[in-house]
Structure 1
Amino acid sequence: MRPAANQEASSNGDGEQGGLGVVRIASVAALGGLLFGYDSAVINGAVSAVQSHFQADATSLGFAVASALLGAAAGALLAGRLADRMGRLAVMRIAAVLFLVSAIGTGFAPSLSVLVLFRIVGGFGVGMAAVISPAYIAEIAPSRVRGRLGALQQLAIVSGIFISLLVDFIIAEMAGGSGEPFWFGLEAWRWMFLAMAVPAILYGALSLSIPESPRFLIAKHRVSEAKAILTKLVGAANIDAKVERIRETMEREKAPSWRDLKSPNGRIARVVWIGLGLAVFQQFIGINVIFYYSNVLWVAVGFDESQAFVITIISATINIVTTLIAIATIDRFGRKPLLIIGSIAMTVTLTTMSVIFGTAPVVNGSPVLEGAQGPMALIAANLFVVAFGMSWGPVVWVLLSEMFPNRMRAAGLSLATGALWVSNWIITITFPGLKDLSLALAYGFYALCALLSLFFVVKFIEETKGKELEDVQG
C-alpha cells in the first residue's frame, strides 16, 4: 500500500501524476495555437512589401492576407473526422508538416498566386491544429483546472501573434524595411515567412512526447492504455468507475460522422447552433483587423512604419497579459460572466473608435487623427484588446472544447472552428474595402456585433465551470 502522502499527491494533481504533468502535456498541445497566432499575424509585417513586390491591388491584397483562412476553414472541417479515426496526436503531426511546407513555399514564392497557394496549405494545417489542441486539452484535463488549461490555447495564440510581430519587426529593422534585401539577397518579407519553420518543427517534435487522448483510446476499445494514462493524469482513485463512465458516453454503433451532430429527433442539436454562434461572434467583433492590418491602419492615419510596428507589438503584449488574467480567473468566476463583461467593454471601445474615425478630417481619402484623437484612438484600440483578451479570446476556446457531449466533441468543435475561420476570412477580406470607404463604418459594424454578442451570451450560454465532460448534455 502506498503512503497516504503519495495517494494525496496523485488525487490532488501534484507532481508528474497530476498538476505539473497535465500542465506540461496541455502546454505542448496548446502549441497548435501558437501556429494559429504566428500564421495569422506574420502577414502583418509583410503585407506592404508583398503588395509592392507583386503590384497587388486592394482586392488581391485582401485575398492574399485572407487566403490562409480558407485553408484553415477546410482543415478545421476535416480535423474532427481525422481525429476520430487516426487519433489526436496524428492530426497534430500532420498540421506541423503542413505548416513547415507553407513556411518554405511562401518564403520562396515567385508570384502572388504561389504565395496564396502555400498560405492556403499552411492555413489547412493551422485549422487542423486549432481544432485538435482544445479538444485534446479538454480530454486530458481534470475538471477543476480544465478552464485554465483550456485557456492555454488562447495564450499560445496571442504568444504566436506577439512572437510573429516581434520577429517581423526585428527583420524589418535589420534590413532597413520589409521590402529591402536581407540575408542571402532575399527580401526581408521572405524571411518573415521562412521563420515560420521554427515553431512548426518545435510543435511536431514535442507532439512525440505526449500521450494519446484517453477518451479517444476508450472509443477505440484500447481501455488498458487509456486507464494507464488516466491514472497518471488524475490518480488511481475510482479509476475503473471513471473509465466505465467515459466508455458509456463514447459508446456508438457506427463510425464517427457528421450525423453525430444531430439530436435524437433528427435535427441539428441546439448546442451545435450555439457553438456556431460563439465562433462567428468571436470574429465579427473585428479583433483580427487589429493584428492583420494594424500596421496599414496606423500608417494610414499618420504614423510611420516603425511607429506602427511598435504600436502593434504593444497591442500584442497587452493581449498576452490579459489572457493571463483570464487564465487566473476563468475557473473562479466562470465562463459566462467573463463573456458578458467582455461584450460590454468591446461595445464601448469599438464605438469610441468608430466615433473618432468618423469625426477626424479626411485627407487624400484617409482620416487624419489630430490633437487628442491619435492618443484616444490608441487607448481605445488597446482597451478593446484588453477586453477581448480577458474574455472572448480564451473563453470561446474553452467553451467550445467543453460544451459538446463526448460523442460529438470532435465533430462539433470541428464545425464551429470551421465557421470561426470562415468568419475570420470574411472580416479580413472585407476590411481593405471598408477602410477605403469609411473606417467609422467598419468599426461601427464591429461595435454592433459586440453589442449583439452580449444578448447572445445572456440568452443562450450555459455555464460549464466545474462540470465533468461526461455530464455535458447535447
Structure 2
Amino acid sequence: MTTSGEASRPTTGQDEPGPSHSTATAVLLAGAAALGGFLFGYDSSVINGTVDALREQFRLSSLAVGFVVSAALLGCAAGAWIAGPLGDRIGRVRVMLIAAVLFVVSSLGSALAFSAVDLTCWRLAGGLAIGAASVIAPAYIAEIAPAALRGRLGSLQQMAIVLGIFAALVADYVVAHVSDGGATGTFPWGGGAWRWMFASAVVPAVLYGVVATMIPESPRYLVKSHDTARARRVLARVTGGGDVDAKIGEIARSIAADRPVRLRDLRGPRFGLLPIVWAGILLSVFQQFVGINVIFYYSSSLWQAAGMSEDDAMLTSVINSVVNVLATLVAIALVDRIGRRPLLLAGAAGMAVTLATLTVCFATAPVVDGDPHLGGLAGPVALVAANVYVFAFAATWGPVVWVMLGEMFTNFIRASALAVAAAAQWLANWVITTTFPGISGFSLGLAYGLYTAFAVLAFIFVARAVPETKGRELEDMDQISAGARV
C-alpha cells in the first residue's frame, strides 16, 4: 500500500530504509524530539561560565558550589522518574510541551536569583524539565524510527546534547568577553554577566516548545489510545506507506495485554529487578561515573587552576565542545554499521587510557597556592588527553547509551524502564558533580584515578552483560531482554 503521490516500490527487507522523503520525515521528527537534549546540553554547560561568579556573588564554599551546580540533576532524576508513566498517560508530545514551559520559567528564575537558595530551587525546576525530556525524546525517536535508521536517529539525542553544550559555552564566552570584568563582571545591558548566561537559555526553551507543537504523537501511544487512524497517518509518513497495516498490527499485538505500567512490572530475579532493567541502569551509571560532566561543568575553573587565563580557559572549553560535536558525528556514522557493543567497548578502553594519563599529569603536578600547575610537557599532554577523552566518550558512550535505552526494553516496560534508567543516570551525574569540588580540592589525581577505575569497570560490564540491539525491531526485544546477563 502506498499513500497518494508516492510511487510504488518493491517490497524490501525490514532493515532497508524506505523512500528518501519518508526517511527525511523520520529524521526531521527525530531531530525535533531531540531538541530536549539540546536543553540538557545547554543547561549542563551554561553554568560552566558562572561557577566562579556564583562563588563570589554568594560567598559559597566548595561544597556549596558543588551542590548549586548539581542541584538541577536532582530535578532531572525526579523528572525522568515521572516522565515515563506520564508519557504513557497523556502522550509524548504533551510531556515535551510541559518540559518546555518549565525550562523557560527556570531560566528566567535563575537569571533573577537573589540568593543561592532560590537559585537552587530554580535549577531544580529546570532539572524536572530536562529529566522529562531526556526520557521522552529517546522513547519517541525509537517509536517513530525504522529499524535500519534507529541507531542513527537515536544518536540525534546525543548530537543535540553536544550542540547544546557547544552553544552554551560559546554564549558564556561571548557574554564574559563583552562584559566589564569577565564572567564575574557586569554585562553592558546591566546586571551581572552570570545572570545573562542563565537568561540566554530561554531562547532554546521557547524553540523547543514551538517545535513540540508541530510534531505528531508517537504511533505506539496512538495505537494504545485506540486512535489507529492517526497512527496510520504517522506511520505512513515515516515508512513511506509500505507496510503500515502490518506495523499497526505488530504494535497492537505487542500491547494487547497492556495496562498502566507500574514499577512492579520491572520486578525480576536479579536483586528485585529484571536483568535487562539492571543492564539499563548500569549503562546509565557508568556513562556518568567516567566523569564526563566534570569537563563540561567545571572545565573553565579547572583550566584556570592549571595556570590558564580566564579567556584561554573558556576558549579551551569551547574547543572541548567542538571535539564533542565532531565525535558525535562519527558515532552517528558508525552506530548502525558496526553495532552498539563494539563502540561501547572501544570507548571504555579509550577513556581508561586517557583518564589514566590525566591522573598521572595532575597527581605529579607541583601545587602552587593550593592548585596544581601543569608546566613543561605536562600541560600539552593533559590538554591532548582531555580532548581525546572527550572524543572517546562522544563517539561511543555518549550517544550509544541513549540509543540502547530507547530500544533495549520491550514495548510493555519501555517507558517505565527508561524512566528508572534515566533517573539512575541523573543521580549518578549528581554524585559525580557534587563530589568533584571536594575530591579535586584534596587531589585532582585522586578524582581522575576514580574515573579511570570506573572506565575499566564499564569495559568489563559491557563485555560480560550487555546484549547487542543493532537492526532489531522493537517488537522483537523480548529476545534481547533475555540476552541480558546481569
Which piece of structure 1 moves more, 140-149 or 234-243?
234-243
The structure-2 alpha-carbon separation of the partners of 1:446 and 1:267, relative to structure 1 and needing over 3 Å to count, comes to: closer
What residue is the counterpart of 1:422 in the other structure? 427
Quick check: 1:98–1:122 contact (8 Å CA) kept in 2? Answer: yes
Number of residues of Structure 1 aligned to a counterpart in Structure 2: 473
For 1:80, which of 55, 59, 84 is the aligned residue? 84
Quick check: 2:76–2:131 contact (8 Å CA) kept in 1? Answer: yes
**Amino acid corresponding to residue 404 of structure 1 in structure 2:** F
For 1:391, which of 366, 387, 396 is the aligned residue? 396
Quick check: 2:258–2:412 contact (8 Å CA) kept in 1? Answer: no
Work out the CA distance in 2 between the residues paired with 1:112 and 1:183: 24
Quick check: 1:301–1:369 contact (8 Å CA) kept in 2? Answer: yes
1:285-335 deviation line (CA, Å, top 9, x unaligned): 000000000011111111111110010000000000000000011100000
Task: Say which SS state the counterpart of residue 178 (structure 1) adopts.
Answer: helix
Gaps in structure 1 of 5+ consecutive residues: none
**Amino acid corresponding to residue 397 of structure 1 in structure 2:** W
What residue is the counterpart of 1:129 in the other structure? 133
Work out the CA distance in 2 between the residues paired with 1:416 and 1:302: 39
What residue is the counterpart of 1:467 in the other structure? 472
For 1:323, which of 312, 325, 328 is the aligned residue? 328
The structure-2 alpha-carbon separation of the partners of 1:463 and 1:371, relative to structure 1 and needing over 3 Å to count, comes to: same
Work out the CA distance in 2 between the residues paired with 1:19 and 1:240: 19
Tell me, yes or no, if structure 1 residue 56 matches structure 2 residue 72: no
Tell me, yes or no, if structure 1 residue 302 matches structure 2 residue 307: yes
Quick check: 2:19–2:239 contact (8 Å CA) kept in 1? Answer: no
What residue is the counterpart of 2:109 in the other structure? 105
Work out the CA distance in 1 between the residues paired with 2:457 and 2:145: 32
Tell me, yes or no, if structure 1 residue 347 matches structure 2 residue 352: yes
Task: Say which SS state the counterpart of residue 391 (structure 1) adopts.
Answer: helix
Which piece of structure 1 moves more, 277-286 or 234-243?
234-243
1:96-135 deviation line (CA, Å, top 9, x unaligned): 0010001100000011111111010001100000110011
**Amino acid corresponding to residue 364 of structure 2 in structure 1:** T
**Amino acid corresponding to residue 370 of structure 2 in structure 1:** G
Work out the CA distance in 1 between the residues paired with 2:270 and 2:402: 28
Tell me, yes or no, if structure 1 residue 235 matches structure 2 residue 240: yes
What residue is the counterpart of 2:174 in the other structure? 170
For 1:92, which of 84, 91, 96 is the aligned residue? 96
Structure 1 residue 10: deviation in Å?
A: 10
For 2:50, which of 42, 46, 51 is the aligned residue? 46
**Amino acid corresponding to residue 80 of structure 1 in structure 2:** G
What residue is the counterpart of 1:6 in the other structure? 7
Work out the CA distance in 1 between the residues paired with 2:231 and 2:259: 21
The structure-2 alpha-carbon separation of the partners of 1:236 and 1:285, relative to structure 1 and needing over 3 Å to count, comes to: same
What residue is the counterpart of 2:255 in the other structure? 250
Which piece of structure 1 moves more, 197-206 or 51-60?
51-60
Tell me, yes or no, if structure 1 residue 159 matches structure 2 residue 163: yes
Work out the CA distance in 2 between the residues paired with 1:222 and 1:355: 59
**Amino acid corresponding to residue 19 of structure 2 in structure 1:** D
Quick check: 2:93–2:212 contact (8 Å CA) kept in 1? Answer: yes
The structure-2 alpha-carbon separation of the partners of 1:266 and 1:427, relative to structure 1 and needing over 3 Å to count, comes to: closer
Work out the CA distance in 1 between the residues paired with 2:265 and 2:40: 27
Quick check: 2:286–2:458 contact (8 Å CA) kept in 1? Answer: yes
Quick check: 2:347–2:392 contact (8 Å CA) kept in 1? Answer: yes
Work out the CA distance in 2 between the residues paired with 1:414 and 1:42: 25
Work out the CA distance in 2 between the residues paired with 1:396 and 1:419: 13
What residue is the counterpart of 2:406 in the other structure? 401
1:262-286 deviation line (CA, Å, top 9, x unaligned): 3599952110000000000000000
What residue is the counterpart of 2:319 in the other structure? 314
Task: State the Cα RMSD in Å.
Answer: 1.8
What residue is the counterpart of 1:441 in the other structure? 446
Quick check: 2:171–2:197 contact (8 Å CA) kept in 1? Answer: yes
Work out the CA distance in 2 between the residues paired with 1:10 and 1:166: 47
The percentage of counterpart residues that share the same residue type is: 49
Quick check: 2:19–2:240 contact (8 Å CA) kept in 1? Answer: no
1:319-371 deviation line (CA, Å, top 9, x unaligned): 00000000011100000000000000000000000011111111222211110
Map of 1:253-268 to 2, 5 A cutoff?
254-263=259-268, 267-268=272-273
Which piece of structure 1 moves more, 242-251 or 256-265?
256-265
Quick check: 2:325–2:394 contact (8 Å CA) kept in 1? Answer: yes
What residue is the counterpart of 2:151 in the other structure? 147
Gaps in structure 2 of 5+ consecutive residues: 482-486
Quick check: 1:10–1:234 contact (8 Å CA) kept in 2? Answer: no
Which piece of structure 1 moves more, 257-266 or 155-164?
257-266
Quick check: 2:363–2:445 contact (8 Å CA) kept in 1? Answer: yes
Work out the CA distance in 2 between the residues paired with 1:449 and 1:267: 24
The structure-2 alpha-carbon separation of the partners of 1:228 and 1:78, relative to structure 1 and needing over 3 Å to count, comes to: same
What residue is the counterpart of 2:484 in the other structure? none
TM-score (norm 2): 0.95
Tell me, yes or no, if structure 1 residue 115 matches structure 2 residue 119: yes
**Amino acid corresponding to residue 350 of structure 2 in structure 1:** A
1:216-258 deviation line (CA, Å, top 9, x unaligned): 1111222222112111111323322221111111123532221
Which piece of structure 1 moves more, 133-142 or 179-188?
179-188
**Amino acid corresponding to residue 172 of structure 1 in structure 2:** A
Structure 1 residue 33: deviation in Å?
A: 0.2
**Amino acid corresponding to residue 287 of structure 1 in structure 2:** I
Work out the CA distance in 1 between the residues paired with 2:5 and 2:225: 34
Work out the CA distance in 2 between the residues paired with 1:254 and 1:392: 33
**Amino acid corresponding to residue 114 of structure 2 in structure 1:** P
**Amino acid corresponding to residue 112 of structure 1 in structure 2:** A
Work out the CA distance in 1 between the residues paired with 2:265 and 2:140: 18
For 1:363, which of 364, 368, 377 is the aligned residue? 368
What residue is the counterpart of 1:19 in the other structure? 23
For 1:376, which of 373, 377, 381 is the aligned residue? 381
TM-score (norm 1): 0.97
Work out the CA distance in 1 between the residues paired with 2:110 and 2:269: 46
